Amino acid sequence: MMTPMRYVILVLAIIISLHFILSFSHEEYGRATSITRIKEQLQNAPGSKTYETYPAPGANYSSNPERVNATFILLARNSDLSGIVSSVKQNEDRFNKQYKYPYVFLNEEPFSDEFKNMILEITDSKVEFGLIPHDHWYQPSWVDEMKASEARKQMIKDQVIYGGSVPYRNMCRFNSGFFYRHELLAKYKYYWRIEPDVTFFCDLHYDPFRVMQDGNKVYGFTISLYEYPKTIPTLWDTVKEFIHNNSDLVPPGNAMSFISDDNGETYNNCHFWSNFEIGDLDFWRGEAYTKFFDFLDQKGGFYYERWGDAPVHSIGAALLAKKEQIHFFNDIGYRHNPFQHCPQGDLHHKGQCWCDPKENFDYEWYSCLKRYDAML
């Protein structure tokens, strides 16, 4: 006969076995019961703090009259440390040592001490590390997971890049409609997005944020290209439905001609490559874009297809802003593999750029810059 203790051990073994089976077979269960998730829930409990602030040492640059109300925004994981350090260090050396603009780092998990300490070693600017709210990052409960799973399987068969990845879709949805809602960004007007492992080729002898503010710009880019059509098969039909229902939000003189060759009947797949963007946070926070994103989000295309933040941001800016409010930062030399923008002629010389002028994506066949030029 089995003793009571043996019964207890047997029951515990069965429970633990079921937990591991469910963790591997059901992604939502695995996320909900993970140590990281439990820790995150405790940190997000009422009254808990979801961010850390490290003020800039020495001078109070926040009162600098030359500075605009702006910040750098970096979405990163702890595993991105090496690539983030490279990007931040280049940004500091090429531009930010002069202006001391602050940095906001966001992660769906808490940043490690190693990550925070390394960042604080390479900049004298104010740095804040924030935790992304769970509902802003993970796949919503209303998404039909069976439908989404079948779509991912098909994209894997079609060899679509990141076609099988849920985390990538989470990131695209977050960057499309949630990053600017984070509490750490509430106090800022402008942002500059920086990603891991990018390259800044040129010295900047002026302030791009000042260009945005003084020129009433809402969106700035360096590289534009065509989206992979298999990732967005129904996106444009959804956009047209939004336009039909909200024509009052679409101003005349917008940048429709950049994204459509037939006045909106079809999408030409052009978008600004959003891994680099300098933008107006109030534009994304405004009524028009909020309604635009919410309309798209409820269609589920971030998960039933693989809608990216680049086409969503680009279409949103092109439709809802004036065309002259979209700015090409021609003098910012920039690379995100495999494409790069290398300033030409006098701009290359003035910026002391170290990129090869011949290696420039601007007017390659897959670039959309010529459409931007024609629009203006």
Comparing C-alpha atoms, which of 237, 231, 236 is closest to residue 305?
Answer: 231
Contact (CB, 8 A) for 375 and 258:
yes
- CA gap 232, 306 in Å, rounded: 6
Residue from 114, 277, 359, 364 carrying the catalytic annotation: 277
- CA gap 354, 342 in Å, rounded: 9
Q: Which residues contact 149 (CB under 8 A, 6 or more apart)?
A: none
Helices (H), the chain: 4-25, 27-33, 35-43, 81-91, 97-99, 113-122, 134-137, 145-157, 166-177, 208-214, 235-245, 256-259, 281-285, 287-299, 301-304, 309-320, 345-350, 369-375
Assess whether 277 carries a catalytic annotation: yes
Chain Cα centroid distance, residue 291: 19
Q: Which residues contact 242 (CB under 8 A, 6 or more apart)?
A: 291, 292, 295, 296
SS3 26: coil
Pairing of strands 103-107, 127-131: parallel
- CA gap 360, 369 in Å, rounded: 12
- CA gap 357, 349 in Å, rounded: 11
Indicate which residues carry an active-site annotation: 277
